[in-house]
Structures are given as C-alpha cells and as structure tokens.
Amino acid sequence: MRLDGYLDGQVKNDLDGDQPWSYLEHMSVIRLTVNGQAHALDVDPDTPLLYVLSDELALNGPKFGCGLGQCGACTVIVKGQAIRSCITPVKAVGGAAITTLEGIGTIDKPHPLQRAFIEEQAAQCGFCVNGVIMTAKAFLDKNPKASEEEIQQAMSGVLCRCFTHVRMLRAIARARAELGTAK
C-alpha cells in the first residue's frame, strides 16, 4: 500500500512532466466495499481515499485534518489495519473492505468504544474522535489485553487539539474491559 507522495497536494505527483493530462486515460471504475456496501465509482484512481469517502459517498466519519498522515483524523480500517485515508490513493484499496466510524456502530447500537466515549463524555469539539476511536479499535481488535501503556503507545500518532486526552484514554480502557469480557 502506498502511503506517501500525497502530501496534501503540496508535493507534485507523477502528473508532472510532458504528459500533463494523462490521468484522463486512467479514469476507471474503482470497486470499494465500505461498511459492507459495495460501490463502483468512476474516479481518478490517484484520488486519496478520504475524498472518495467524503465527497462521493457522503460519509462524515473520516475527516480531513492535515492531509499528511500526521494527525489521524482521516483514519479508516482496511484489513484490520488502521490506515490514513488522506494519503492512501483509492486505487491502493480497490476491492478491499473498508470500515469507517459509521460502520462500527450507530447512535442506537454503538460499538463499545463509542459507548465508552459517551459514558466518559470524552470529547470537546469532537473533530479528532474519528481518528481516536478507529485507531483504538484496530489496536484493541488485535491486542484485547493491552496495558494502559501499550494503549498510549498505540495512540502516539493521534492528535487531539482540545486535549481531551485524559478522558479519551479512560474511555479506551473502559471499552477494552468491556470488549475483554465479551470475548
């Protein structure tokens, strides 16, 4: 999976050079399964996945924070792995099953992590919550018995600028306990 070279459009990609509009020929149908729903989308295959999720599929969970893979706001889960959708070209995940924040639970049936965030009132502006919950989910799915320290380590690439850190880590620990008992 390609995770570099899409620095928010700041870095010129392979369109530079003497074939300026060659990607027109690359327009092709990309098949994605998002939250269990299959989609066939006619998009430039180099489009970062985030734009496809936000603008083509109108999903509000994954968010544009930095476009550089530095903050986590755009995180989605692909093959059990938390990835940064802002720097992942959609062609890299063609055919893969993608899970977004919307896909793990609903207001009526929240995922244990989502429920824990409500229980702990673990948000301020809430913009980072997608990255926090999705990163934590991918991690806890693989490491259901992780220690607090390991959880902190796993969250070390995720930002929250309101600094709701105390509650968010408490919520993750709470969900881990619940997920642990469920299994």
Partner 1 sequence: MTRLSHAPAEGIVTAEASARLAGTSVSRRSFLIGAGAMVVLFSAKGQVGTAAAQEFEGGGGPGAPSPNQLDSWIAIGADGKVTAYTGKEEIGQGISTAQIQLVAEELCVPFSQVNLIYCDTALTPDQGITSGSQSHPTNFNHRNLALAAATARETLVELGSKRLGMPADQLMAADGVISAKGDSSKKISYGELIKGQRFEIQLDPNAKRKPASEWTVLGTEARRPDLPALVTGQFEFVHNVRLPGMVHGRVVRPPMVGATVVNVDEGSVKGMPGVVKVVVKKNFVGVVAEKPWQAIQAANRLKVTWSAGTGLPSHTDFYNYLRAEKPTRDTLLVNSKDVDEKLAQAATVLKATYYYPYQMHGSMGSSCAVADVQGDKATLYSPTQGVWPVRGSAAVLLGLKPENVHVIFRRGSGCYGLNAADTVTFDAALLSQAVGKPVRVQLTRKDEMAWGENYGFAFVMDERAGLDGDGNIVAWDHESWSAVLGNRPGYATPGNVITGSLAGFSPEPFMARSPAPEPPAYSNNSNGVPSYVAGNVGGVAKGTGAITSERALTHNIASPFFTGPLRSPARLQNTFAHECFMDEVAARVKADPVAFRLRHLKDSRVIEVLKGAAELANWEPRPSPNPPSQRTGMAAGRGVACVAYEGNNGFAAMVAEVQVDRETGKVSVKRIFFANDSGPISNPNGLRNQIEGGTLQGMSRALVEEVTWDDQKVTSVDWQSYRSLPLGFAIPEVRVKLINRPDQPATGAGETAITIVAAAIGNAIFDATGARIRQVPFTPERVKAALSQTLTRA
C-beta of residue 68 within 8 angstroms of C-beta of residue 8: yes
How do strand 37-43 and strand 75-78 relate by DSSP bridges?
unpaired
Closest distance between partner 1 and the C-beta of residue 153, in Å?
Answer: 6
Closest distance between partner 1 and the C-beta of residue 60, in Å?
Answer: 5
Smaller CB distance to partner 1: residue 47 or 88? 47
Task: Assess 118 for contact with partner 1 (CB under 8 A).
Answer: yes
Task: Assess 126 for contact with partner 1 (CB under 8 A).
Answer: yes
Q: What are phi and psi of 160, to 5 degrees?
A: -135, 115
Closest distance between partner 1 and the C-beta of residue 182, in Å?
Answer: 19
Task: Assess 95 for contact with partner 1 (CB under 8 A).
Answer: no
Site for partner 1 in 17-76 (CB under 8 A): 20-21, 24, 44, 46-48, 51, 54-55, 58-68, 70-71, 73
The overall longest dimension of the chain from CA atoms, in Å, is: 59
Residue by residue, DSSP assigns 45-74 as TTSBHHHIIIIIS---SS--S-SSSSS-TT
**Plot region of 134 (φ>0 → left; ψ -120 to 50 → alpha; else → beta):** alpha
Residue 104 CB neighbours (<10 A): 18
Name the site residues for partner 1 (rule: CB under 8 A).
8-10, 12, 15, 20-21, 24, 44, 46-48, 51, 54-55, 58-68, 70-71, 73, 100-102, 105-107, 110, 113-114, 117-118, 121, 123-130, 132-133, 152-169
